[in-house]
Structure 1
C-alpha cells in the first residue's frame, strides 16, 4: 500500500469522489443552465422570456462571460451609460443554486458611467439561487420607471409593484419590509 499524505487521502476519499462526480454530472451532463433569460423593461412595465443558447452559455462560461457577451452584442458602442437604453444584466453561472462552494455568486454587468465600457461586478448571497429557482438563468433590466417600483419574479413570471412607500426608508427598514411582503 502506498504512503499517502492526509491531503492525498482526502482527495481520494469516497466523499470527495462523490462530490466530484456530482459536480461533473451537474456541469457536463445537465449543463447547469435552464436556457431562459428574463428581459424586463421598466419603462413599459413589460417582460419577456429570451432563450439562452447553449453555444453562448458554453463559449462564455459563467455569469461574467455570458453577461458581458450579452451586453456587447446588444448595446450600441456609443450608448450613454446613464440612458434608459443601457441594460443591467444579472447573470448566474452554471453552479448557481447547486450548493457547491462558490456557487452563491452572481455577476452584475452593465456599461459603466465611470469608464464608458462594459464592466462586470459580483455579489454574493442568495439572489442567484432564488433567480435560478424562479426559472431563469439571468435577468436583463432596461428602461426607467417614473416612480419607485419593485420587480417581482416568481413562478416564471415578472411584474412591477409600487414601492413609493419604501422611498426614504433606511436599508434595514426596507429589507425588513420586503422580507415581510415576500416571505
Structure 2
C-alpha cells in the first residue's frame, strides 16, 4: 500500500489527476482535512466530480455566494470512494448551535436538498421548487436543483430560510 503526504489541496489534485490509478491510501487525516471548508479543497472536489464544467461552475457559484450567509461548507464522507469523500457537500450554520446541514448540494449533478418542509415554501409559487415524496415530519423535504444561473438566486433565498429555522 502506498501513502501520500502533502497538503489536502495537493492530495486532492493528485487524486483528481490520477483517478483510481493512484493506488494511494490517503488516510483518515487527509480525508478529514479535505472535508474542511477550504475553498480550494471544495473547488477540487466539485470540479473532480461534476458531470460538466457548467455544473461545476454553477455549484461553485452557489457555494461561494452561500458562504456570505454565515455558513460552513463540508464534504461528506464515504467508504466507497478512493478519496473517502462523498459526492455531496453539506452547508451548515457556522453559529454556535450546530444542527444538521441546512442544505446538501451534489457535486455531480448540482442537485440541492434543503432542510425545509412544504409549509416553509407554501408562499412561493415557483416550478423550480420541488417537493420530495417523504414521510410527514421529514426535515429535508424540498429540492431546488441548480439547473441554471437564475436558480442560484432562488437557492440562496431558500437556504436563508433554512438557516432561519436552525438559528
Is TM-score (shorter-chain normalized) higher than 0.5?
no
Going by fraction, where is strand more abundant, 1 or 2?
1
Greater relative contact order structure (CA < 8 Å, 6+ sep)? 1
Kindly name which structure, 1 or 2, has the bigger radius of gyration based on alpha carbons.
Answer: 1
TM-score computed with the length of structure 2 as normaliser: 0.31
**TM-score for the superposition, normalised by structure 1:** 0.29
